[in-house]
Amino acid sequence: MSIYRLALSAFGVLMVVFLVAPTLVLVPVSFSSGRALQFPPPGFSLRWYETIVTSPTWSFSTVVSFQIAVLTAILASILGTLAAFGLVRGRFPGQSVANAVLLSPMIVPVVIIAIGMFAVFASWRLAGSPLALIIAHTVLALPYVVVNVGASLRTVDRTLEAASMNLGAGPLTTFRYVTLPLILPGVLAGALFAFIVSWDEVVVSIFLSSPFLQTLPVVMWNQISEAVDPTVAAVATLLTFATTILFALATFVQRRSER
């Protein structure tokens, strides 16, 4: 029994190390004073973080990534909330098909989506534009919003909306003061997930980027294939940090809404 448990615990720890170690190794490397990606680092310095701030390529792409992620989060939460309303509240033919189509970006291989997007945006002469990136990221992020908002919406008691109407509020006012506050945790969680999806996205972004418009992960990808220096590790550390914080926040919001 105890041996069995010990083995199980050891296996669990091993799994966690295996999953997290590659990411965590980059953290000390990013503070390295050496020029190469080297572990353990020869000394401590913040020079690579300095590079991010001072190098126009890195700082520009950080701003681009952030802007695109924010706009994606906004667009995806609006469209996803509307879609969730249709799917949860509506009764129309082909409802389950619509549901499957909306959730498909979670399942379809990203490369396939990327190739398709590239083909379409290229023919519209939009490839390489911020608009193309935002639209593409929104498509990828939409399922997360639909799932989160849908779950919240299903718990909303419809007599509350009836009560609001009875008290004089029209459908829009009722949405604003009653329904939206009740599903807000779901919308927020969905928005955070949408931000993370865009912030981390690399495959579709590679296809749709241009030399003048590159998100952070795309720049990392390009740098790695050319010259390797610890700047990439510093960027990776920042990305991981931001994603972890946002993910924790999204989970927290979700939990609260379930109570």
Does position 175 bind another protein by CB under 8 A? no
Of the residues 10, 106, 112, 160, which one makes contact with another protein according to CB under 8 A: 160
Contacts of 24 (CB under 8 A, 6+ apart): none
Examine residue 110 and tell whether it contacts another protein (CB under 8 A): no
In this structure, the number of other CB atoms found within 10 A of the CB of residue 145 comes to 31
The residue count for binding another protein (CB under 8 A) is 18
Stretch that binds another protein, among 66-74, 125-133, 153-161, 233-241 (CB under 8 A): 153-161
Tell me whether residue 98 or residue 182 sits nearer to another protein (CB atom): 182
Whichever of 20 and 167 has its CB closer to another protein, that residue is 167
Residue choice 169, 206, 238, 249 for contact with another protein (CB under 8 A):
169
The least distance separating another protein from the CB of residue 3, rounded to whole angstroms, comes to: 49
User: Left if phi > 0, otherwise alpha if psi is -120 to 50, otherwise beta: which for 170?
Assistant: beta
Out of 81, 164, 215, 254, point to the residue binding another protein (CB under 8 A). Answer: 164
Q: Please provide residue 137's backbone torsions phi and psi, each rounded to the nearest 5 degrees.
A: -65, -35
- Looking at 47-55, 116-124, 164-172, 210-218, which segment touches another protein (CB under 8 A)? 164-172
| Residues of this chain, 182-241, that bind another protein according to CB under 8 A | 182
Rounded Cα gap, residues 62 and 99, in angstroms: 34
Q: Min. distance of Cβ 170 from another protein in angstroms? A: 5
127 DSSP 8-state letter: T
Helix H or strand E segment including 181:
helix 180-200
Which residues are CB-neighbours of 257 under 8 A, at least 6 positions away? 152, 185, 186, 189
CA atoms within 13 A on the CB side of 95: 10
Cα–Cα distance measured from residue 187 to residue 122, given in angstroms and rounded to the nearest whole number: 32
**DSSP code at position 179:** I
> Which position among 15, 111, 163, 224 is part of the footprint of another protein (CB under 8 A)?
163
Binding residues (CB under 8 A) for another protein: these are 157, 159-160, 162-170, 173-174, 177-178, 181-182
